[in-house]
Amino acid sequence: MRSQSGIVIVTPALADANNGNWQTARRWARMLATEYPVSLLAEWPGPVSQGGSVQGQAPQGATRPGLASQTPVPSLMIALHARRSAASIERWKKACPDAPLLVALTGTDLYRDIDTDPHAQRSLEWADGLIVLNTLGARRLAPRLQSKVTVVLQSCSARKPWPLARRHLRVLMVGHLRSEKAPETFFEAARLLADRPDIRLEHIGGALDDSLGAQARQLMRECPNYQWLGALPHAEVRRRIQQAGLLVHPSRMEGGAHVVIEAMRSATAVLASGIDGNVGLLGEAYEGYFPVGNAQALASLITSAREVPGMLEGLRKQVLMRADQFAPEHEKAVLLQQVRNLLIRH
């Protein structure tokens, strides 16, 4: 039986962004909708009128994804992004001071904004609960805030392992072209591997930074084994992750990259920068890390994966050993329990 307690999920990234925050918000909305009426908005326009409707018009881009035909006054807000959702968080706390607020911290929140941005810092203080998306995320917070933290490991469906190609190694990076994803590290590794036709490098992601897009186009002219594919539909991205020999994830900061999880759930080996957001998913004993920004180390690992017998198979076994932690039923159970606990306490 569905509860009458309504939930509003606020995410500054909606469907047109096609990024990790949007995928997370949509997935959580579907999981929670089995027990609660849910609405999904780009921002919360509140406050609430006595008649039970939200005053004013929902902002452009807001969606109600078929989860509740008539959402009642929300009883709880989940806000993705402490800084970018700060205005919605402030309106919520002023209009509904006794209603619980759950803030999910992104990579830019944890590893940049909470250090300097007063809006992000205030969101942490106002939150009744905090969600981090990797097992090491809480250690970025002050001890007095760590008691609010729940680790919610994101999830996706499992895919059948794809047979490894023998004639060449397919190496894939999935990430929009922006500074946080460190595409320059992948670019430079591609240049170092330009004389290796047996190593094919593909890059999926839109050019959010025009200069990085120009660099990717130039790289295709210089390196025949590198191909920039631009932004692709999610189903196509998943297929390419499943069929790749290696997923490369060189980010400077991550809350818990969904593409890494998709690789693990497809038995695709991962080479990742050794930042908390990656180590908090793959585990501290994982053998596929390189120092952030070190293209030479990345190229060396790619070469070893191609040439060293058993290395690629060993990395696949390591990701498979952790893959069950990212099953949808586990994510749903942890998320629902956190919501229930907050609603009971309030």
**Region(s) of the chain under CATH 3.40.50.2000:** 6-155+327-345, 169-324
By the 8 A CB rule, do 157 and 188 touch? no
pLDDT digits (tens, 9 = 90+) for 244-290: 999 999 999 999 999 999 999 999 999 999 999 999 999 999 999 99
- Please state the φ and ψ torsions of residue 304, each to the nearest 5 degrees: -65, -40
For residues 216 and 230, what is the distance between their CA atoms, to the nearest angstrom?
10
Q: Whole-model pTM above 0.85?
A: yes
pLDDT digits (tens, 9 = 90+) for 12-32: 875 455 567 888 999 999 999
**Which fold does the domain 169-324 belong to in CATH?**
Rossmann fold (3.40.50)
pLDDT digits (tens, 9 = 90+) for 180-220: 999 999 999 999 999 999 999 999 999 999 999 999 999 99
pLDDT digits (tens, 9 = 90+) for 106-161: 999 999 999 999 999 999 999 999 999 999 999 999 999 999 999 999 999 999 99
Confidence at residue 5, expressed as pLDDT on a 0 to 100 scale: 76
For residues 57 and 44, what is the distance between their CA atoms, to the nearest angstrom?
10
- Percentage of the chain with pLDDT > 90? 84
Mean of the per-residue pLDDT values of the chain: 90
pLDDT digits (tens, 9 = 90+) for 64-93: 443 333 444 689 999 999 999 999 999 999
> Rounded mean pLDDT of 222-250?
96
3-state helix, strand, coil split of the chain in percent (to 5) is 45, 15, 40
**Burial per residue of 273-301, b for 16 or more beta-carbon CB atoms within 10 angstroms, e otherwise:** bbbbbbbbbbeeebebbbebebbebbbeb
Tell me the DSSP string of 18-68. Answer: -SHHHHHHHHHHHHHTTTS-EEEESS----B-TTSSBSSPPPTT-B--SS-
Q: Which residues pair with 130 in a beta bridge?
A: 103, 149
CATH code for the domain defined by 6-155+327-345: 3.40.50.2000
- Helix orientation angle between 20-32 and 328-345, rounded to the nearest 10 degrees: 70
For residues 25 and 219, what is the distance between their CA atoms, to the nearest angstrom?
34
Residue 164 is classified by DSSP as P
300 three-state secondary structure:
helix
For residues 264 and 271, what is the distance between their CA atoms, to the nearest angstrom?
11
